[in-house]
Structure 1
Amino acid sequence: MTASSKKNQGEQRPKVPRRLLDGVLLLDKPVGLSSNDALIRAKRLYRVKKAGHTGTLDPLASGLLPLCFGEATKFSQDLLEADKTYEATMRLGIRTTTGDAEGEALDTREVLCDEAAVRQAMARFLGDIVQIPPMYSALKRDGKPLYEYARAGQTVEREGRNVTIIALDMIACELPDVTFRVTCTKGTYVRTLAEDIGEALGCGAHLVMLRRTGVGALTLEHAVTLDALTAMDEPARDVWLQPVDALLSTFPRVTLDAESARRFTHGQRLPLNALVIDRVECEAAERVRVYDEAGRLLGVAKAANGVLAPERLVVSGAV
């Protein structure tokens, strides 16, 4: 090896400077990419130091994946708890090992139902239902994800989970395919919903398309793709960032005067009568978003029993 090649081998690429950036990116994740890989690519494009997502989308699924940068990561849990909206297509007549198109066919049955029967079956799943989580899921049993048991050919007992199907509407019915829109509470498996509808129809089903269109108050309407971001320069990318409080838009807003704001940012509990707000609204809420008089987000608090208790605070001057 020459001296020149040794020198080149020892050289390291200069580190890309990271940015202290706070905000929320509404990403339209493509099919075939894991949520973590999408996060890594977005983090690299924005050169941010700290980033996280608000709940995974399977590689088979596309659509809305809110990504949190900087101080926004403190509030990502709030979106994990939020209702979700999806558009999905199920194919009747075939059950698969995974409940979706990535799995192998388990059995095939004739589809004898018509559109009216499908609508009637779907209506049975509105409201509170119990789902058995699929074996191909990240839920853990004895510290090991269920999908690891499934890949080893094992099936373990799973407890049913209470979820709520808030809305369930048919978009198109071209049998054996049925496309529908569903709004549901956290923890709902749309794959399992499709399978259960298929069983109710007596023919089985699996999911062939899943696209998330809403998370809480956030919608796909304001999302951007990774390909589009890659084609932009940095200032253009930054325009796509939503403020940190985009994650908290469903929380009642509380505004504090200067002294109350100072005490709040030091983690002190405050009597609600010290707040510059409509106290009736605040007293009725469990959690609120808190601002100073200049409109800066200070954090999230619990409001109950006449007291405002700081829960998570934003670093001063971060947003």
Structure 2
Amino acid sequence: MSAQPKRVKRPISGWVVLDKPFNMTSTQAVGKIRWLFSAAKAGHAGTLDPLATGILPIALGEATKAVPQVQDGTKIYRFAIKWGEATTTDDAEGEVIFTSEVRPERAALEAILPQFTGTILQRPPIFSALKIDGERAYDLARAGEAVELQPREIDVDAIRLIDHGAEQSTLEVTCGKGTYVRSLARDIAEALGTRGHVSLLHRAAVGPFHDEDAVTIEQLEALDCAERDALLKPVWSGFTDLPEIRLDPHQASAVRHGNAVLLTGAGAPASVDECWASYKGEVLATGSVAFGQFQPRRVFNL
């Protein structure tokens, strides 16, 4: 039998806002999308647990340079807490290690939620990708070693109760980078004098990308190459939460070579911590403005 011809990798750039399916790792999802688009380069903006569903922004080509900005963006999660059981992983994948007969009343749950908003300290789950002396915490935990992670500051913008039942409640949280919803569920349950774990988890938003932007793997598989390409979001769509600096041809040429440029005109900003520069609607670079000069940090080759 003759060997199958090798798939040619394409230098394609843009975003696939994937609705990641249940029971698939983020790495598997990136591999699948990279294969479907024959992309030379791909990555994702923020790991989503295998048992979670929802928004996994996948960057192709030059969009991979925008991953840090997107994964640092605000996230929205909808999640269910199963009452009465704590697990090793703080979700449904783990073994039950503690039980409780206490089932919180709706009023008690709503009353305690303000304690979990603002800047709070959170202890990450031991089954997490955080590193301890160079080793992943989940690898140490699976090997039976004692894992102790120090509490970290996180920002929770809002948390609200969507539905309440005796055995399970559904909530929605808007939060910043580094928030573990599994830890949030565990801590809410303990604060109510019971135990609990995440039984369902859906990420509804990451930075500028939301549920309404998402496509499924099945939808992509049903399309031909040109139709799939048409669904790609442009690289700049990862920056819509940041100010845009529009450049003229001379400024654009300088920025393409990594040089700073003086911004002119009545509306030119004197200082911006983080922004992106564009020319004719396409991203040229991310960077900052100081003393009226745009200083590129990362240049895009589009």
Q: What range is the shorter-chain TM-score in?
A: over 0.9
After superposition, the Cα gap between the structure-2 partners of 1:38 and 1:277, relative to the gap in structure 1 and judged at 3 Å, is farther
**2:292 matched to 1:306?**
yes
Runs in 1 of length 4+ with deviation above 3 angstroms?
A: none
Secondary structure, aligned partner of 1:239? helix
**2:96 matched to 1:105?**
yes
Matching of residues 50-61 of structure 1 within 5 Å: 50-61=41-52
Secondary structure, aligned partner of 1:32? coil
Match of 1:161 in 2: 152
1:7-40 per-position Cα deviation (integer Å, ceiling 9, x unaligned): x3xx432111222211101000001000010110
Match of 1:133 in 2: 124
Give, in angstroms, the shift of residue 70 of structure 1. 0.8
How far apart are the structure 1 equivalents of 2:207 and 2:125?
24
Q: Is the 8 A contact 1:86 1:212 kept in 2?
A: yes
Secondary structure, aligned partner of 1:76? helix
Match of 1:212 in 2: 203
Match of 1:87 in 2: 78
How far apart are the structure 2 equivalents of 1:157 and 1:100?
18
Residue 55 of structure 2 is aligned with which of 42, 46, 64? 64
Residue 163 of structure 2 is aligned with which of 147, 157, 172? 172
How far apart are the structure 2 equivalents of 1:153 and 1:16?
42
Q: Is the 8 A contact 1:254 1:277 kept in 2?
A: no
Point out the structure with max Rg over C-alpha: 1
**Identical aligned residues as a percent:** 38
Q: Is the 8 A contact 2:126 2:148 kept in 1?
A: no
Secondary structure, aligned partner of 1:163? strand
Match of 1:3 in 2: none
Give, in angstroms, the shift of residue 239 of structure 1. 2.1
Give, in angstroms, the shift of residue 166 of structure 1. 0.5
How far apart are the structure 2 equivalents of 1:188 and 1:196?
13
How far apart are the structure 2 equivalents of 1:208 and 1:13?
43
Q: Given residue 278 of structure 1, which amino acid in structure 2 is its aligned partner?
A: G
Q: Is the 8 A contact 2:74 2:174 kept in 1?
A: yes
What residue ranges of structure 1 are gaps of 5+ in the alignment? Answer: 1-7
How far apart are the structure 1 equivalents of 2:101 and 2:193?
9
Matching of residues 1-319 of structure 1 within 5 Å: 8=1, 11-272=2-263, 274=264, 278-279=267-268, 282-292=269-279, 294-315=280-301, 318=302
Secondary structure, aligned partner of 1:242? coil
Q: Could you state the TM-score of these two structures normalised by the residue count of structure 1?
A: 0.92
After superposition, the Cα gap between the structure-2 partners of 1:254 and 1:226, relative to the gap in structure 1 and judged at 3 Å, is same
How far apart are the structure 1 equivalents of 2:199 and 2:104?
19
Secondary structure, aligned partner of 1:124? helix
Give the root-mean-square deviation of aligned CA atoms. 1.3
How far apart are the structure 2 equivalents of 1:24 and 1:284?
29
How far apart are the structure 2 equivalents of 1:183 and 1:259?
41
